[in-house]
Amino acid sequence: MRFEIVTLFPEMIDAATRCGVIGKALESGLMTVTNHQLRDYCGGSIHKVDDAPYGGGPGMVMRPEPIYAAIEDVSSRCGADLKVLMTPQGKRYDQATARRLAGYDSILLFCGRYEGVDERVRGLFDEELSVGDYVLTGGEAAALIVIESVGRLIPGVLGSDESSLDESFSAGLLEYPQYTRPEEFKGMRVPEVLTSGDHAKIERWRAEQAESRTRRRRPDLLAQKPGGERGRG
C-alpha cells in the first residue's frame, strides 16, 4: 500500500509515521508514505499558496494553481488509484470507509489548510473525507488518521490479522470488555467466564457484552444495523 501525501507540513507526517505499528510497517516495506511539499509547486520565488477570498471574509483560501500542479504531477509520476481531499465538508470517515480504502494499492491524500481550497480544484479529487464534525488547523492530522486506520488493515501489519476483525466498529458494535493479568486487581476480579476455558460461553459472553455496551454508549450504531433499534416497538 502506498500513500502519497501533498502537504505544507511534511514534518508532521514524518514524525507520526515513524512510531508504533505504522513505523514497523514502513520499515518492513508493507507500506510506503511519501510526502510532497505543496510549496514546490507554486512557481517563482514567492512560494505563495494562499490568498484573500473573493467577496471578502476572514482568513485565506488555498490558491488553485499549486494544488492543480501538485495533484497532476504526483498522479502522473507516482500513480494514485484514489485521490482524496481531506476537508470538514467531506463524507464522514468511518471503519467501513477504512476497509474500502484498504483495497486500493495507492492513495493520494491532500491536506487542506486555512479556510479551505479554491472551489475550482475539487474536481481533481475522487472523493472528499472528513474525520469528524469539528475543524482542525489543517488536514495533516486527518490524513494521519486515514493512514493509520487503513494501514493497520493491510495483511501482515498487525501481529495477528484477526486483531482487526474483533475491534470496535468492525461488526457495527463497540468492542466487548477486555481483561489481562492479574486475575484480581484492587478487589476487582476478571469475569469467571473468561477463565472457564469454555470457548463457546466466552464467545456468547463477548457478543452479549458488545451489544450491551453499544446500547448504552452508542445506540446510534445499533439503529444502523439491519433489524436494529429502528425496528423495535
Looking up residue 31, the CATH number of its domain turns out to be 3.40.1280.10
Is 71's pLDDT higher than 80? Answer: yes
Q: Rounded to an integer, what distance in angstroms lies between the CA atom of residue 43 and that of residue 22?
A: 34
Query: What integer best gives the mean pLDDT of the chain?
Result: 92
Q: Are residues 188 and 109 both part of a single domain?
A: no
- Indicate the pairing of strand 184-185 with strand 188-189: antiparallel
Q: What is the pLDDT of residue 157?
A: 95
Mean pLDDT of 197-222: 95
What grid cell was written down for 116? 479551505
Helices (H) then strands (E): counts for the chain: 7, 9
State the total domains in the chain.
2
Spell 98-110 as b/e; 16+ CB within 10 A means b: beebbeeebbbbb
Q: What is the pLDDT of residue 168?
A: 56
Q: Are residues 17 and 116 both part of a single domain?
A: yes
Q: State pTM to two decimals.
A: 0.86
Q: Count of CB atoms within 10 A of residue 4's CB?
A: 23
Mean pLDDT of 23-28: 97
In the chain, the percentage of residues whose pLDDT exceeds 70 is 91
157 within 8 A of 21, measured Cβ to Cβ: yes
Q: Are residues 214 and 124 both part of a single domain?
A: no
Does residue 131 lie in a domain region?
Answer: yes
Q: Are residues 61 and 172 both part of a single domain?
A: no
Residue indicated by cell numbers 468511518: 94
Is 45's pLDDT higher than 80? Answer: no
Residues spanned by the domain of 37: 2-151
Q: Are residues 69 and 36 both part of a single domain?
A: yes
Sign of CA dihedral 14, 100, 230, 175: negative
Mean pLDDT of 203-228: 89
Is 232's pLDDT higher than 50? Answer: no
Looking up residue 187, the CATH number of its domain turns out to be 1.10.1270.20
